[in-house]
Amino acid sequence: MKRFSYIILIALGVIGVAAPLVTAEEKPCLACHKKLAAGKIQHAAVAMGCSTCHVKPHEKEKPVLSLMVDPPALCFNCHDKKIVAGKVQHTAVKAGMCTSCHNPHSSDNKKLLKAQAPGLCYTCHDKKMFAKKHQHSAVAAGMCMSCHNPHASDHEKALVSQPPELCYTCHDKGMFAKKHQHSAVAAGMCMSCHNPHASDHEKALVSQPPELCYTCHDKGMFTKQVPHGPAASGMCTHCHNPHAADTPFQLPQPIHDLCVTCHAGASIGNGVHVVRGFRSAGHPMRGKKDPLRKGREFACSSCHDPHSSAWPKLFRYKATSAFSLCQYCHKK
């Protein structure tokens, strides 16, 4: 019967209970150390008896609060060592500082944490990193552990899984799974563009476009004498989806339709070419092969560089007039 009662005590201690549980042996301890067991959630070891972790302090003339062995070895007497066996350990775990996060006796917080996240995390991690204008929603909600394992992981930064799969636990994978992916997305490099904690830039971008884009894309392509308006004003995402699209170059729609969202004047309305004065229906475009760019359809970008050009009207090739540009294809 005595053994059965002891098992029940252990079970109650493991699941955590509201009322303090102590053995008769430990009642003298609580006469002085009552506050230690006053939290809503008690460490199971408290129910098992103070001597589970502590050497009896009053065996010597001067009381000494001594542990049986030092953490984390002491903790592994009950807790499975596998939870800290990942390749990347939390710094506190690596240093054996279990009690820097957990109260070893009792707490009002789940998991016997000394404080709620993210406040607990800020005792070591610089709060300034997370206090910027645009916060990742997980950070704003104090859900640090939705991305990081607080003990150990096989992934860098103790992430619970590897990006981009980690990101897909919250973000819709369908946004990124289209036919044409941004190379950063295809490589799972979400954090090359986004700060996973917080940023002073919209969408938690690591810097503001177009400078952000120039970290990979050659700035010279966009800074010639005659820039396209959106490129000059850093509106890269006006023409390109930064994640993925079903249209080449991550365009939000086919190029003929995209261009006329801005260039819809009488001379080029309905996607026809500016030379419609020479041909009532305009220059043939849709479904026609580009004679100078193998494998490409003839489109607005066959004649005009959509980013910038050294020539008037954003001409793709060296030309000072429309007539001289036409001669690249119409040689006679």
Show the tokens assigned to 279. 């041909």
Residue 166 makes CB contacts below 8 A (sequence gap 6+) with: 147, 159, 160
185 in helix, strand or coil?
A: helix
Give the confidence band of 34 by pLDDT, cuts at 50, 70, 90: confident
- Phi and psi at residue 287, in whole multiples of 5°? 80, 0
The residues near 267 (Cβ < 8 Å, ≥ 6 apart) are 274, 276
What dihedral do alpha carbons 137, 141, 145, 147 form, nearest 10°?
0
What's the count of helices (H) and strands (E) in the chain, helices before strands?
12, 12
Which residues on neighbouring strands pair with residue 297, listed in sequence order? 289
- The pLDDT value recorded for residue 79 is 96
User: Distance (Å, rounded) from C-alpha 13 to C-alpha 19?
Assistant: 10
Give the distance between the most distant pair of CA atoms in the chain. Answer: 111
In three-state secondary structure terms, 178 is coil
pLDDT higher than 50, residue 10: no
Report which of 99, 109, 91, 38 is spatially closest to residue 74, judged by C-alpha positions: 99
Highest mean pLDDT out of 7-11, 64-68, 208-212, 283-287 = 208-212
pLDDT of 201 higher than 60: yes
Highest mean pLDDT among 7-11, 195-199, 233-237, 280-284: 195-199
| 59 vs 51: CA distance, rounded Å | 12
Q: What three-state secondary structure class fits 291?
A: coil
Q: What is the pLDDT of residue 8?
A: 40
CB 217 within 8 A of CB 223: no
pLDDT of residue 267: 52
pLDDT of amino acid 27: 62
Cα–Cα distance measured from residue 156 to residue 217, given in angstroms and rounded to the nearest whole number = 27
**20 preceded by cis ω (within 30°)?**
no
pLDDT one-digit tens code per residue, 51-107: 899 987 777 676 677 899 999 999 999 999 999 999 999 999 999 999 999 999 999
pLDDT of residue 263: 82
Question: Distance between CA atoms of 118 and 60, rounded to whole angstroms?
Answer: 42
Compute the distance between CA of residue 128 and CA of residue 16 in angstroms, rounded to an integer: 35
Q: What is the pLDDT of residue 105?
A: 96
Structure tokens at 291: 């004679």
State residue 279's pLDDT score. 52
Q: What is the pLDDT of residues 114-162, one digit of tens each?
A: 999 999 999 999 999 999 999 999 999 999 999 999 999 999 999 999 9
